[in-house]
Chains A and B, each alone.
Chain A
Amino acid sequence: MTAPLAFEELRLGGRVTPFTLAVPEHHTVAVLGDEDSGVGTLGGYALGLERPAGGRAAVFGVVIADLPELERLAFRRRVGYLPAGEGLLQNLSLRDNVALPLRFGSDAAPHEIDGRVSVMLTAVRVAAAAQRRPAQANEEERRRAAIARATAFDPALVIMEQPFDGLTTRAAAELLEFVRGGETADGARRTILITGQELPAVIHRRIERTYRLTRAGALELEPA
């Protein structure tokens, strides 16, 4: 069975050894490494935002970067993405940020979208700050809203870049649970890839696999 997310022979950063990794369905996998290791580019390669110098990144068996423009945009809605720095639009409230992908990319009626957004904001516990703009909200509120936005289409796969940096352990654990979307017999309902430099210990314990890109270029599985 095709892994929801697979990197094959990817040229990453200045590494000589090609990067190969498959994220199995219902698994939460973290790839950690230094800033110059290239881990920060994995999300962009997977979503076809950038093209790697070599190798391929496939999402549900499809290389998004190879799709025609309109199909590429539509396909990306199947993947939740939390970029480093959140990427929330500064001129919209947190609520409107969460609603934007639904308003733009779904045919749901406005009242249905409003209802769904309210539920999501409550679920990530940011409803009280929903009318604030990103600059008026604190880091945790922004991250909560960005995660709600990333999961707006209820995607089966979520890619998160440095999702827990600057958060308390409790907030990080809460948000991971939210993104996992509940449990199935095989693991979490969603497949998740986390990239970053470090993970809080509490998160490390809750995910299936943590890999570390070493300076030498090897991908090592960290002990559970």
Chain B
Amino acid sequence: MIDPISRLGRSAARRLSRLGALARFGFHALRAAPALTPAGRRVALRVGLTQVRFTALNAVGLVVLLSSILSFLVISQAVREFGRLGVTDLIGTLMVIAIVRELGPLITALTIAGRSGTAIAAELATNQVLGEVRALVAMGIDPKQYLVLPRFVGAVVSMFALLVVFDIVAIGAGFAAAKFNGMSGDRYVQIVLQSLTARDIWLTVAKALATGLIVGIVPSYFGLSVRGAPTEIPVATSRATVTSIVGIFLSCALLR
């Protein structure tokens, strides 16, 4: 009887300890920012811009595709079904709450975690295995400043940028779906705008920030936690992805 409970306790303690280490890692990465010299800031900015190009710019097509398909399908069904029930006004609520506020941050963050988070974890793990991180430290370059911070900031910026793209495309695709199913475009715009409140906007922003922090810090943490064997790289990548996904769902669920 005691054994399963103690095993459960050990597992919970291990997870809590990892969560603590993750938070400490994120805090140290952020704390490294003010210590950057002007020259270091220029290098970190360049790395950060490369990260934004890969994470945001190169993912625009994917986000547009996911957002337009999702929104078009949901609004098409809703116009038909809500029309039958005579509650077409609810389409605005559906668009704002379900798509813009809830699914937007969730799908965008999952896209970044799956696409860029895995790449970051694998890249940093490889840096670690090949002794590149050690060489950076030996040259007087803080890996938190050169490797972690730019990726972290890049991921947060990309999350916001892609979320804006997602929401604009979703509303546009909803407009097209509404018109395609016989609803007037003006009516669609009117009910969507009526449903939009300040709370929806700040909740969307809060979710973007929370999920951005997760996809920015979790892959770096797991990537740099590799100690030396190349076989640890896929393990670190997999752990980073799973932890990011769980964190994204939890943060979206908690911010309501």
Contact B130 A104 (CB under 8 A): no
Q: Which residues of B contact A88 (CB under 8 A)?
A: 132, 135
A85-96 CB mask vs B (1 if < 8 Å, else 0) is: 111111100000
Q: Which residues of B contact A87 (CB under 8 A)?
A: 130-132, 134-136, 138
B121-154 CB mask vs A (1 if < 8 Å, else 0) is: 0010011001110111111111000100000000
- B contact patch SS: helix
Contact B127 A105 (CB under 8 A): no
CB distance from A129 to the nearest CB of B (A): 19
Given the known inter-chain contacts A49-B134, A83-B131, A85-B131, please indicate yes or no for A105 contacting B139, CB distance below 8 A: yes
Chain A residue total in the interface (Cβ 8 A): 30
Q: Which residues of B contact A75 (CB under 8 A)?
A: 140
CB distance from A205 to the nearest CB of B (A): 29
Chain B residue total in the interface (Cβ 8 A): 23
- Among B43, B131, B140, residue most surrounded by chain A Cβ atoms (within 10 Å): B140
B38, B132, B136, B138: the one contacting A90 at CB < 8 Å is B132
Contact B138 A49 (CB under 8 A): yes
Given the known inter-chain contacts A101-B139, A101-B140, please indicate yes or no for A85 contacting B39, CB distance below 8 A: no
B37 within 8 A of A: yes
Contact A76 B35 (CB under 8 A): no
Q: How far is the CA of A47 from the CA of B146 in the complex (A)?
A: 19
- For the complex of A and B, list the 3 residue pairs with the smallest distance between their C-beta atoms, beginning with the closest: A87-B135, A77-B140, A76-B140
Binding site for A on B (CB under 8 A): 35, 37-40, 42-43, 123, 126-127, 130-132, 134-142, 146
